[in-house]
Amino acid sequence: MSYDKDNIFAKIIRGEISCDKIYEDDFVLSFKDIRPQAPSHALIIPKGNYLDINDFSLNASDNEIIGFNRAIAKVADMLGISENSGGNGYRVIANAGNDAHQEVPHLHFHLLAGRPLGPMVFPEKPN
Ligand code: AMP
In the chain, % of residues over pLDDT 70: 95
Q: Whose CA is nearest to atom 13 of ligand 1?
A: 33
Which residue among 11, 14, 53, 104 has the greatest number of ligand 1 atoms within 8 angstroms of its CB, and so is best to mutate?
Answer: 104
Architecture category of domain 8-113 in CATH:
2-Layer Sandwich (3.30)
- The finding on whether 99 has its CB within 6 A of some atom of ligand 1 is no
Spatial CB neighbours of 66, under 8 Å, sequence gap ≥ 6? none
Q: Whose CA is nearest to atom 12 of ligand 1?
A: 35
pLDDT of residue 126: 63
Across the range 33-56, mean pLDDT stands at 98
Q: Do β-strands 90-93 and 40-46 pair in parallel, antiparallel, or remain unpaired?
A: unpaired
pTM: 0.95
pLDDT of residue 120: 83
Across the range 29-34, mean pLDDT stands at 98
pLDDT of residue 127: 59
Q: List pLDDT tens digits, range 59-115.
A: 999 999 999 999 999 999 999 999 999 999 999 999 999 999 999 999 999 999 999
Give the model's confidence band at 53: pLDDT under 50 very low, under 70 low, under 90 confident, else very high: very high
Report the separation in Å between the CA atom of 60 and the middle of ligand 1, taken as the mean of its atom positions.
22
Q: Which whole-number Å values give the CA distances from 9 to 5, 34, 49, 86, 102, in the listed order?
A: 9, 12, 10, 30, 13
Q: Among all residues, which ones are annotated catalytic?
A: 108
Per-chain mean pLDDT for the chain: 95
Residue whose C-alpha is closest to residue 63's, from 73, 71, 51, 55: 71
